[in-house]
């Protein structure tokens, strides 16, 4: 008499983890990149081309705004000559729209300080004006950021305390309340956590508001970040976090600190070299350089026109290279305060069943630094042996 052979199923998840030092490096690239357009220009990263786009600048010699278009392309600043461009202006809002695959520019002030509320698209080579049926008010200093969850651009105006969304055709009023605070506020996309944040420098510390889809909520204070105004901020795709630089404290003293974080927490980034203490700088991420770029900025008696690059030579990363068998194959999630395995920081992984319930069997998770071998043995390993049992 014999028993039916049985098979023991073990669930396997192999994870390739590149644990990297969080050390980042600032490098002054002014000599190799050329001078940036000039202060008061607006900047954004262009994800589909890898460029950093700059529009407009203040011509101090002639006391006027311009409508110049510049790009940081292949590490070099170039002025483009598109046949059509938005009118000269300052204090407009500009951000990359992932759904449209274009940069959206909205509003600003003209030379007479008249508020503008026109909408333009940049495709990487040319400008095109849109004619939406509805338009947000042209109140000064608007914030603009793409919402990955809704697939729409969000705009928060500076004075009217209104939040609008844009679908590529028309604007729609979403919410009233929580106005921007001019140079005290940045509105941007945290692409790692797929949420739009407003970061306010305040007397308590750093205040972070999150867009829930219908309102600004989840206010969190980070008192360990000293109060500052006129700081620069952007999302760094390489580091997977928001980068904040400079500003000035409540006494007006310029700052040279580099911080990174998200809606969960913030920490100061230690760099051996730093840009000078400044305020009113501009940050944007360059996909072609794989780094955050700092341009412009001021200090008492000085107007900087330098280009600095914050690079991470060995970025941290994770990748799942093997998984279990259906129907109970687990899903791997990163989570916690930080989502990348930087050396010296806490890193969290979570295993969930594909069906949302408990795992059907024992779970093994391997973490290593090679995607081809473990302990001299090739990966992935077969952990599904057949076990036979016999009875007399």
Query: 380: cis peptide before it, omega within 30°?
Result: yes
Q: Around Cβ 5, how many Cβ atoms within 10 Å?
A: 10
Output the CATH code of domain 25-311.
Answer: 2.120.10.80
Domain boundaries along the sequence of the chain: 6-19+316-387, 25-311
Q: How many residues does this entry show for the chain?
A: 392
Most confident of 51-65, 84-98, 210-224, 319-333: 84-98
Rounded Cα distance between 306 and 37, Å, is: 10
Give, in degrees to the nearest 5, the angle at Cα 145 between 144 and 146. 135
Mean pLDDT of 335-360: 59
Q: How far is CA 336 from the centre of its chain?
A: 18
**What are the phi and psi torsion angles at 186 (to 5°)?**
-130, 135
Q: Name the band, by pLDDT with cuts 50, 70 and 90, for residue 159.
A: confident
Q: Name the band, by pLDDT with cuts 50, 70 and 90, for residue 7.
A: very low
Rounded Cα distance between 7 and 9, Å, is: 6
Q: Name the band, by pLDDT with cuts 50, 70 and 90, for residue 227.
A: confident
Q: What is the pLDDT of residues 171-217, one digit of tens each?
A: 999 999 877 776 678 999 999 889 999 998 877 788 899 999 999 98
Q: How far is CA 154 from the centre of its chain?
A: 15
Least confident residue range of 28-32, 199-203, 225-229, 285-289: 199-203
Q: Name the band, by pLDDT with cuts 50, 70 and 90, for residue 349.
A: low
DSSP of 231-281, one letter per residue? -EEEEETTTTEEEEE--B-TT--BB--EEEE-SS-EEEPP-SS-PPSBEEE
pTM score of the predicted model: 0.81
CA Rg, the chain, in Å?
Answer: 25
Q: What is the pLDDT of residue 1?
A: 39
Q: What is the pLDDT of residues 110-143, one digit of tens each?
A: 888 899 999 999 999 999 999 999 999 987 778 9
> What mean pLDDT is reported for the chain?
82
Q: What is the pLDDT of residue 126?
A: 96
Q: What is the pLDDT of residue 390?
A: 47
């Amino acid at each position: 008499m014999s028993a039916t052979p049985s098979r023991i199923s073990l669930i396997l998840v192999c994870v390739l983890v590149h644990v990297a030092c969080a050390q980042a490096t600032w490098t002054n690239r002014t000599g190799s990149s050329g001078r940036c357009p000039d202060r008061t220009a607006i900047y954004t990263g262009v994800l589909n081309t890898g460029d950093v786009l700059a529009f407009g600048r203040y011509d101090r010699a002639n006391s006027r705004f311009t409508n110049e278009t510049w790009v940081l392309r292949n590490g070099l600043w170039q002025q483009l000559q598109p046949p059509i461009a938005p009118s000269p202006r300052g204090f407009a809002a500009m951000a990359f729209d992932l759904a449209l695959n274009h940069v959206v520019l909205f509003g600003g002030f003209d030379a007479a300080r008249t508020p503008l509320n026109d909408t333009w698209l940049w495709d990487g080579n040319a400008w095109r004006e849109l004619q939406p049926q509805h338009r947000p008010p042209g109140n000064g200093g608007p914030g603009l950021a793409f919402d990955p969850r809704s697939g729409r651009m969000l705009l928060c105006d500076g004075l009217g305390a209104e939040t609008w969304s844009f679908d590529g055709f028309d604007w729609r009023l979403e919410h009233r309340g929580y106005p921007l605070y001019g140079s005290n506020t940045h509105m941007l996309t945290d692409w790692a956590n797929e949420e739009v944040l407003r970061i306010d420098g305040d007397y308590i510390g750093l205040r972070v508001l999150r867009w829930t889809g219908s309102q600004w909520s989840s206010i969190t204070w980070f008192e360990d970040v000293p109060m500052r105004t006129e700081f620069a901020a952007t999302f760094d795709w390489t580091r997977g976090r928001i980068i904040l630089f400079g500003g000035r404290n409540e006494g007006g003293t310029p700052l040279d600190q580099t911080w990174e974080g998200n809606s969960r927490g913030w920490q100061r980034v230690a760099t051996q070299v730093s840009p000078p203490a400044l305020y009113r700088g501009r940050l944007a991420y360059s996909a072609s350089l794989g780094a955050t770029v700092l341009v412009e900025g001021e200090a008492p008696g000085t107007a900087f026109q330098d280009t600095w690059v914050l690079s991470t030579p060995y970025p941290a990363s994770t990748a799942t290279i093997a998984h279990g068998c259906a129907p109970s194959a687990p899903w791997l999630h990163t989570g916690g305060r930080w989502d990348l395995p930087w050396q010296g920081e806490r890193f969290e992984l979570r295993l969930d069943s594909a069906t949302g319930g408990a795992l059907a069997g024992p779970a093994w998770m391997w973490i290593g630094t090679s995607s081809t071998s473990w302990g001299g043995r090739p990966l992935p390993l077969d952990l599904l042996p057949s076990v036979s049992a016999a009875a007399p």
